[in-house]
Amino acid sequence: MKKRVAFFGILLGLGLVAAEVPGTVAGQWTGGTLGLILQPAPAAPGGGSTINIGPLPTYTAELAEGEGKELVMSYCSICHSVTYITMQPPLANWKPTMDKMLKTYGAEKWIPADVAEKILAYLQAHYTPETRKE
């Protein structure tokens, strides 16, 4: 049964794409699968005290492609997601932010100086008012 629902979902998705007619303007809708509801396993009675506390988001921002991206993705997500980077205004100089992470928040415990330099170069290459793409 579940398989069938998924199948219709895909068809619907295709339908939306095909509905783009020359001369019409894009409407306000988002593509995606309709009617796909995952069935969670029912809770079993027992002595535990498990309480439903809602979903956790898994979204993190997609960073610009370029040299050093992997270093940023791994070292700058030790304490928080890299979404903090894309949430900033385009910063002309990332050095104060890097220093804040390394010294004020103690990231130098994990991030070697040469890696920190490469990360700074990456941020300057992709996230300043001149270099930031989006």
- Looking at beta carbons only, is 35 or 57 nearer to ligand HEC? 57
Is residue 64 a contact residue for ligand HEC (CB under 6 A)? no
Binding site for another protein (CB under 8 A): 28, 51-54, 56-57, 78-79, 84, 87-89, 91, 97, 104-107, 109
- Kindly state whether residue 101 participates in binding ligand HEC, applying the rule CB under 6 A: yes
Check binding of 6 to ligand HEC (CB under 6 A): no
119-to-16, 33, 39, 133 alpha-carbon distances in Å = 41, 38, 43, 18
The only residue of 78, 81, 83, 95 in contact with ligand HEC, by rule CB under 6 A:
78
Structure-block tokens of residue 46: 């027992």
If the CB atoms of residues 60 and 97 are measured against ligand HEC, the closer one turns out to be: 97
* Distance (Å, whole) CA 64 – CA 72: 11
- Residues making contact with ligand HEC (CB under 6 A): 75-76, 78-80, 84-85, 88, 97-98, 100-101, 105-107, 110-111, 119
